[in-house]
Amino acid sequence: MSAVNRAAVEAVLRQYTDPYLNQDPVSAGCVRAIDIQGDRVTVRLELGYAAGLFKSGWAQMLQMAVEGLDGVASAKVEIDCVIAAHKAQAQIPGLANVKNVVAVASGKGGVGKSTTAANLALALAREGARVGILDADIYGPSQGIMFGIAEGTRPKIKEQKWFVPIESHGVEVMSMAFLTDDNTPMVWRGPMVSGALLQLVTQTDWGNLDYLVIDMPPGTGDIQLTLAQKVPVAGAVIVTTPQDLALLDARKGVEMFRKVNIPVLGVVENMAVHICSNCGHAEHLFGEGGGEKLASQYGVELLASLPLSMLIREQADGGKPTVIAEPDSQIAMVYQELARHVGARIVLQEAVSQAMPNITVSDD
């Protein structure tokens, strides 16, 4: 029986690819310690994204691989998820108590953006992260309904200057709907809307969040520009349907975020296919492959593709989005995959930006 060394353990770990970081744990810098005591090996890994539902299976797979090494009698792989604050736009100060801001946006309305934002926030929370969601759709706020918060609920005021977010399903929620009457339309011009958004972002007493998901209004107007100029956004998720008109507007959304130096983490395609509940026939009502084409065109990832499902709509309308209503369902698992991919893409975006060389110009 040969003696085990660190190089042999690392060589085994390099044979396995983290499906979210698209790298092996050694190359991704996840290895924190390798402890070898005779024929016993303990490996400690640290993931920079929320992966509570994934890490035990990942640890078991790696443990079996290390135990297959000649000279190893037993192995133990421990995995922790430690989420750090990542780089946002230059010269914009970070938000107090918020590590990473994720904007969920769409070029046009009616593509399921708010439903995606709600399920993303809930999925991140299920993965073990501390999460908040801000409903920035000032004209048509809907997160209060989706999180089952009763009409007329008002946030508490702390020290006469902070809104205390309302907690639901383990997520901190803040929305303009909590400050107005549900039946009163917001007849505001752009500057008033932008001011309201900034107040909601900066005057909410968030509680040490790993991720703040911002449900953006559709389009590329005042609110989006205010967000880009005043709020430190780690990355944006673009939601679309396969329909050509939706894709046209989604492209504008991608271009806008790129122009203001906010990385686009990827694309979510909603209503990709309809499965008949009676006969099981699959039909692409809004076209096919649109999200994949958009992602390919801009060199980003198709993070998730979701069906046109009555259940998704009914569960959101009922105050229990799919991730909470049916956590073990196939659709909920798609949202969990989305959450892990979003967290990992934020980590990868920072790694890319750090690898880019600085360009200097001299008079020589």
**Residue 52, annotated as binding a ligand:** no
Contacts 24+ apart (CB under 8 A), 157-160: 158/205
* 112 annotated binding-site participant: yes
Contact criterion met (CB below 8 Å) for 55 and 65:
no
Tell me the residue length of the chain.
Answer: 364
- 68: annotated binding-site residue? no
Which one, of 151, 114, 152, 107, lies nearest residue 134 by Cα? 114
Give CB contacts under 8 A, 24+ apart, made by 178-184. 178/144, 178/149, 178/153, 178/154, 179/154, 179/155, 182/151, 182/152
Query: In 87-228, where do the E strands start and end?
Result: 98-105, 131-135, 156-158, 162-164, 166-168, 171-175, 209-215
CB 231: neighbour CB atoms within 10 A?
25
Query: Residue 219 annotated as binding?
Result: no
Q: Is 106 annotated as a binding residue?
A: no
CA distance 298 to 223: 23
114 annotated ligand binder: yes
The answer to whether residues 183 and 215 touch, using CB atoms and an 8 Å cutoff, is no
Question: What is the C-alpha to C-alpha distance for residues 201 and 336, in angstroms, rounded to an integer?
Answer: 26
Residue 109 known to bind ligand = yes
66 is in an annotated binding site: no
Annotated binding site: 107-114
Annotated binding site for ATP: 107-114
